[in-house]
Structure 1
Amino acid sequence: MGYKNSYPFIRYAENYLEWENKNALKNIFERLKNTKTRKFKVLHIGDSHIQADIFTGMIRDNLQQIFGYGGRGFIFPYASAKTHSANDYRTFTKGNWESTRNVLKDNPFDMGITGATIFTKDTATGFGFKFYRNNHWDAQNKIRIYTKMSNAAYNLQMKVSGYDSLFTLKFDSTNTLPYVAATLPMIPETLEFSLKKTDSLQQFFECYGLLIEAPENKGILYNSVGINGAGLTSVLKQKLFEQQLAELQPDLVIIDIGGNDYAGGKININEIKLNLEKFIASIKNASPEAAILISCTQDFYRRRRNIGAAKDFSELTREVAFKNNCIHYNYYNIAGGKYAMLKWQKNKLCQRDRIHLTGSGYSLKGELYTQAFLNTYRMFLEEGLPASFLVDSLQTVAADTASNTLSLNTDSLDSGMRKIIYFAEKYERVGTIARKYGVTAADLKKWNKLTGNMVDEGEQLIIYQKINKVKSPNWNAKPHEQNLKKQTSSKEKNQTANTQHYIYVVKSGDSLYTIAQKFKTTVKKLKTLNSLRSDKLKPGQKLKIK
């Protein structure tokens, strides 16, 4: 499993999960190694990026190809809740339904893991699913219908395409589980559900979602649940979450939510931290053996303004993860850091809103998540996992453009011009920048293939000036510019022309394995070259690298 394409702004070398305390892993990789005899369950919780299930669907497919099919996971009759379906199935509805989602201010019905509920008193209602890309399903899948158990609940009739008989499911109060289960006689193209009243006491039907899983105890069961616009305050409204999670007992819960909590640009660190820790505590209370992985959002924009709080959020999630003995995935950094969404846009990886991704973008995101998991799993198999593993950010020029900087190339062009690289500030216009450097707006547009008069915060612009007519920038005006000095990495500083190797200084979180991966060598060669008897490293230790 690898990457279909390579992009210079993606930090592939850092694409690992990280932890401060190995106990946070809860032996998940040991469990993963045994998926031939034990099902490995994942619950991935998020927002609109998850509801569409494009990148999470890709993670599901990738891991199931390697570790085996364990089930489709949670699905929901979204059409009855008046919202869109996931990528691999379409939903349809009939009759009058009431519904609620965790993003709504008023929630008249309880909600469970999916964050949505449908309700009706009308027996003429129904809902259904049409599935795509399900040829890899097992023939005898189990289906669970999560509903309110009550003697007043209508019966549910299920029609499986290609099968003549109807299945009747009852939801009376004698059932102590949060769901009723049935076995599908074949792989369905469609599933249709209708209500049937068989007793005068029956008055309603309330559904929290469905789950499809393989009958055997093996493979990967990857559940993804998300609601458009959801944030941490949203998931805390789900009163039935703990009850259903306690029954599901996942091996790994991924918290991939929070962007909507600061999408306006301002971030309330204390409030987000409090809500995130509440949600972690809820998961631990219901499923104490589950490992918890906290991810963060990538860089994004609101109109032309960069949401700089995304960086603050990535640092916050890392702090909370380590404090609460959880795993962390710094997706913000891996995806390129601040202003990276402009690069995603230029490569047609994001949509015009620069929040949501294109199909290619979600495929890349799915690859990155999958590969982070597999990179860490491979480390586990090849050399074991260290007590602490912290992925230090590589200080690249791309990352440093987060400051308002001006880079002047000191090499003269053949035409006697000087090339300037400029990074735009908030709300800047083409004319303003052109006047600042004594060029015309028309030329600035031509050099940068611009069509409008506005530029995006962080956008990189090329400016050409005649060397004998260089206008000094106004250093007292905003944005504050400064000359960028050419940066060199630590390995370049330590390289010499007289040796056949260079020196690498070990950082916190480094291991022989990750260093070997970074420099395309092997652990064995590193140990031989440096006369190492063990795999232990200390920050500041110097290693020879060929």
Structure 2
Amino acid sequence: MAAVLVLLLATFTTYAQPQANVIQQDTALYSAFESLYHADSNVVSILHLGDSHVQAGFFPFATASMLQQQFGYAGRGYVFPYNVAGTNGPEDYRWNSTARWTMERVIDRYKPPVLGPGAIAIQTQAQAPALSFAGKQDGTMDNNFRKVQLFYDAATDNNTVFSPDAADITITDMPFPGTPTIKMATLDFLQTSQTFQVRWENTGNLPFRFYGAVLQNGRNGVLYHSIGINGAMYQQYNDLNSILLAQMAVFKPRLVIISLGTNEAYGRFDPLAFREEIDKTVQLIKEQAPQASILLTTPPNCMRAVKKAVRKKINKKKYRTYYTTSYYPNPYIAMATQQITGYARQHGIACWNFNAVNKAENRRFAGGWAPDHIHFNTKGYQLQGQLLYEALQQSYNQYLQVKKKNQVNSDDRR
């Protein structure tokens, strides 16, 4: 973990803290900061919810690595077999299976009423489905674990779970709301490991769904869960709010970071409707997890790409068509940013205006954009993650000053 932090910090030149890189209404995070202050004796769960900016993992894992270096590392957190599902995901681990699986996501038009805490599931008709997990030793995250929690629905109560390396297997009914056959299998290991295998038997002919797993190492510190779905929007998480209910029940977060708004800005954008969707998400989290602090983030300074065909004369009779791409500001990105920051300010919720940070740090992000200028490349996402950590660290230092001042005043009154 230390090596990862050094690598991340060495990737970027040290700059003075920019004025824009602050968290607005950061006192709303003091409850989460109090938990981090005592992270040496507790596990502090953090949920980072988002879209494609989060799904690949580079952005949240940069933030997670630095937080865990400072406050302790409690485990890898949520993992999902994205490669088995046929989509992109974090590169520091891999799943394998001999069964044939199909993917179900929150963004799909036709989807089941329950998708679990990851907003994604894989489904198979195999009668004895098996999965294996392997963390990469040189990965960006430490994948060592002593406990694995598996979330699944076999559509029957008569199935049996086998894992050859686990010392003990405990089955828990309905770890989150849904069908009565949803289970959590907890695998306990005598020694730390980076690999495991699991197989379910007697599952019958009904669809078997797997919702992902949580890896823990048995130590105190930060447990950072990253949940991102390509194309996701606030409205989709709200329409299928069983996902948010599952996240609050399973992760029990002390801090929820929400990085959404980009996809809304590339459709028919309605500012008031967008603001209402933000409120639905926030209110549900507050209702289900009143102990959790919430941090809203704004989208990057994304552009619209316009391709233009240019015909060039090669000789007297032949022409060749070339295409040039021009990038223009997307006005809906600015509108989405205004709605997020305005809502946060109105309701006293912490907000990291990354859109403003992205503009202020445009030179550092110059080589960090992907060709579509909507997403970043690996370097760009790691820089974004570092900047989020720096903003959190600045607010945390202010919290420490307030805490120290309150302690002094309390001592003076005695």
Q: Which has the higher contact order (CA 8 A, sep 6+)?
A: 2
Aligned pairs, number: 371
Whole-angstrom CA distance in 1 between matches of 2:288 and 2:343: 19
Whole-angstrom CA distance in 2 between matches of 1:263 and 1:102: 18
Whole-angstrom CA distance in 2 between matches of 1:118 and 1:4: 36
Of 24, 35, 54, 1:18 maps to: 24
Report how far residue 140 of structure 1 moved: 5.5
The residue aligned with 1:179 is: 184
The residue aligned with 1:76 is: 80
Of 125, 141, 146, 2:146 maps to: 141
For 1:268-299, what per-residue CA distance to the aligned partner results, in whole angstroms no more than 9, with x for missing partners?
Answer: 10111111111111111110110011001110
| 1:13/1:384 CA distance change after superposition, 3 Å | farther
The residue aligned with 1:316 is: 339
Which SS does the other structure have where 1:94 is aligned? coil
The equivalences for 1:77-476 within 5 A come to: 77-132=81-136, 133=138, 141-148=146-153, 151-152=156-157, 154-159=159-164, 163=165, 179-197=184-202, 203-216=206-219, 218-236=220-238, 237-264=240-267, 266-303=268-305, 304-336=327-359, 343=363, 347-383=366-402
Contact kept in structure 2, 1:95 and 1:122, CA below 8 Å: yes
For 1:314-338, what per-residue CA distance to the aligned partner results, in whole angstroms no more than 9, with x for missing partners?
Answer: 211111113333211111111116x
The residue aligned with 1:529 is: none
TM-score (norm 1): 0.62
Q: Which moved more, 1:168-177 or 1:353-362?
A: 168-177
Higher relative strand content: 2
Whole-angstrom CA distance in 2 between matches of 1:314 and 1:210: 33
| 1:187/1:137 CA distance change after superposition, 3 Å | farther
Instruction: Give the fraction of aligned pairs with identical amino acids, expressed as a percent.
Output: 24
Structure 1: unaligned runs, 5 residues or longer: 387-546
Q: Which has the larger radius of gyration?
A: 1
Structure 2: unaligned runs, 5 residues or longer: 306-326, 406-414
Contact kept in structure 1, 2:299 and 2:354, CA below 8 Å: yes
Whole-angstrom CA distance in 2 between matches of 1:254 and 1:385: 26
Coordinate RMSD, CA, aligned: 3.1
Higher relative helix content: 2
For 1:157-192, what per-residue CA distance to the aligned partner results, in whole angstroms no more than 9, with x for missing partners?
Answer: 335xxx5x7876657679999622121333334333
Which SS does the other structure have where 2:242 is aligned? coil
Counterpart of 2:162 in structure 1: which amino acid? Q
Which SS does the other structure have where 2:290 is aligned? coil
Contact kept in structure 1, 2:296 and 2:352, CA below 8 Å: yes
| 1:364/1:196 CA distance change after superposition, 3 Å | same
| 1:80/1:154 CA distance change after superposition, 3 Å | farther
Contact kept in structure 2, 1:156 and 1:169, CA below 8 Å: no
Whole-angstrom CA distance in 2 between matches of 1:45 and 1:188: 27
For 1:233-258, what per-residue CA distance to the aligned partner results, in whole angstroms no more than 9, with x for missing partners?
Answer: 22222424314413432110011111
| 1:173/1:326 CA distance change after superposition, 3 Å | closer
Which SS does the other structure have where 2:227 is aligned? strand
